[in-house]
Amino acid sequence: MVFRKVVLSISACVVALGFGAIAAHAMGSNNTTSEQHKMTPQENAEHLSQIQTIFTKTGTFVRDDQAKIGADDVVVSDSLNANEDTTKIVTSYGTFVRQ
């Protein structure tokens, strides 16, 4: 009977130590993450210039920086304003034509 109590006590200590190690790691005692990088305006512009397609609820718009705006075109400057009638999205980082 004493042997069982000793084994159970040792098992409980091992489990508690294991949970303690997991908790300490979760709390960041071995923190290996770095701070978030805030993009500079130049980096932001570079990333925006690489966008090739804009997907909206009402359609897909593909980059075409050579596109001309005609009298029949319905143009918006923000993809959030695009609707079923929108034919082009013209932004500071490019022109996108409905596919």
Q: According to the model, what pLDDT value does residue 36 have? A: 87
For residue 64, which of 81, 73, 39, 43 has the smallest C-alpha distance?
A: 73
Q: Looking at the whole model, is its pTM more than 0.75?
A: no
Spatial distance between the Cα atoms of 40 and 43, rounded to a whole number of angstroms: 5
Strands (E) located in the chain: 53-56, 59-63, 75-76, 88-91, 94-98
Q: Which amino acid is at 66?
A: Q
Mean pLDDT by runs of 10 across the 99 residues of the chain is 46 46 52 80 93 96 95 95 96 95
